[in-house]
Amino acid sequence: MSRLSLQPKAWVEESPRRTPVLGECEVLVVGGGPAGLAAAVAAAQQGADTLLIERYGFLGGMGTAGGVTNFAGLYGRRHGQMQQLVHGVVDELLERIDALGGLNAPQDGMGGRIRVRSYDVAAYKCAADAWLTAHRVRLLFHVLACDVQMEGDRIQSVLLQTRSGRAALRVQQVIDASGDADIAALSGAAFTLGDGGGNMLYPSTMFRIGEVQPQAAQAAVGEFGAIEALMEAASARYTFPRRGAILRPQRNPRQWRANVTQLRNARGAAVDATNALELSAAELEGRRQIVEYMRFLRSEVPGFEQAEIAEIAAQVGVRETRRVHCQHMLDAQEVVSGASFADSIGLNAWPIEAHLDGSVQWQHFNDAHNAFNQLPWRMLVPLAPAPTNLLVAGRCAGMTHLGQSAARASGACFVMGQAAGTAAALRVQGQEGYLGIRTSLANSGVILG
């Protein structure tokens, strides 16, 4: 039996082929995570004929496929008061999830320094479908964007692998919201993988736990960090892949969300989710770690004696892979110092949450009373040699390794997506530059400063 290898010793020559054109659109959004959703709605609201393509059969990105089940970064402290700082198109999504009974009340943590809202994954999927279709965004599921056809310095077509074979879409503007910067990489844009030295934020396989006794569990591990002491006490009997476990109740208090796994490759470094073999092995390892963690919970943690696995995420949760080199790269100092920018597109209110080897390290905003930073428009604009009709949004946008540790949270991804969608639609109308974007964002309720 030969080993699979990404360092091939042999090659096959594929025949040249003619690829059928499936259709065309003014704005193509690749990826239906938080960034892609907001981008598509914003572009459609500006009047652009917008198509969103997604490799799965549902929307939500890591928020659903990765089992995140929690919106972070929507709330932050301003003038000492905790409040929602990310507004705009996302407000309608929150309303729609809430109307389906799927949105939890805000939950505070870390001594009141953070506020999150958990949600039901099924409600998120259904709300996102209804949201995009209400705004006349066209959707194409079960397609993988796998190549681009260039015309000069512009993307002329995006090539898709579909269940009906390979196909092409003719496009005017493209937003890469794939999380992994697939389109940017395919079209020759410069990017950095992780910290550039082979280290990425560690991925985790997320899961939900059912049949929890809420009161006993809350008393045992209700506050962030409380589970640590129980893990420490049991460390001789169990293997824990990381410290910094996060266990939180869902809207249904008998269901809890577990963010406790950490996935390494054979070198002991973070799994590289752009490496097909590492990503595949990580799926097995993630589920193995879940089985081990459930053994610990059932035996050692009050409230979890009868607990069972309610759901394991459809895929490994990937925090970071490629980050595209853009006109601005948001860095850690700009996050913690609460930086302002003349071309702000909205706010990030999540602190640095770095998933490092064996632990999670937090770095909070310097000013606890004004705990947010602005996000600049330039972080969505890739540098040459990237195509001139490409924008990036979400966790693959212009951020450094540690800047991304904060602004990859859903809140900032919605902000980036809305700005990218607005800008792409304005480009279709022949408008370039920040001023038109600013006016449109402000009119839709985005807090810019």
Return residues touching ligand FAD (CB under 6 A). Answer: 30-36, 53-56, 61-63, 65-66, 68, 70-73, 144-145, 177-180, 182, 204, 206, 259, 317-319, 394-395, 408-410, 413
> CB–CB of 220/301 below 8 Å?
yes
**Residue closer to ligand FAD (CB basis): 150 or 233:** 150
- Taking the complex as a whole, the smallest distance from the CB of residue 313 to ligand FAD amounts, in Å, to 8
Beta-bridge partner residues of 375: 346
**Residue closer to ligand FAD (CB basis): 108 or 439:** 108
Which helix H or strand E contains 438, and what residues bound it?
A: helix 434-443
- Taking the complex as a whole, the smallest distance from the CB of residue 5 to ligand FAD amounts, in Å, to 23
3-state secondary structure of 322: strand
Report residue 326: phi and psi, to 5°.
Answer: -120, 175
**Residue closer to ligand FAD (CB basis): 225 or 302:** 225
**Residue closer to ligand FAD (CB basis): 7 or 357:** 357
- Taking the complex as a whole, the smallest distance from the CB of residue 435 to ligand FAD amounts, in Å, to 26
**Residue closer to ligand FAD (CB basis): 259 or 418:** 259
- Taking the complex as a whole, the smallest distance from the CB of residue 282 to ligand FAD amounts, in Å, to 12
- Taking the complex as a whole, the smallest distance from the CB of residue 271 to ligand FAD amounts, in Å, to 11
**Residue closer to ligand FAD (CB basis): 57 or 430:** 57
Report residue 409: phi and psi, to 5°.
Answer: -60, 155
Question: What ranges make up the beta strands (E) of 260-370?
Answer: 308-312, 322-324, 344-348, 352-356, 359-363
Task: Concatenate the DSSP letters of all residues of 345-405 into one string.
Answer: EEEE---EEEEETTEEEEE--S-TTS--EEEEGGGGSBPTTS-TTEEE-STTSSB-HHHHH
Cα separation, 74 vs 85, whole angstroms: 6
Cα separation, 270 vs 274, whole angstroms: 12
- Taking the complex as a whole, the smallest distance from the CB of residue 408 to ligand FAD amounts, in Å, to 4
Cα separation, 145 vs 149, whole angstroms: 12
- Taking the complex as a whole, the smallest distance from the CB of residue 237 to ligand FAD amounts, in Å, to 26
**Residue closer to ligand FAD (CB basis): 72 or 90:** 72
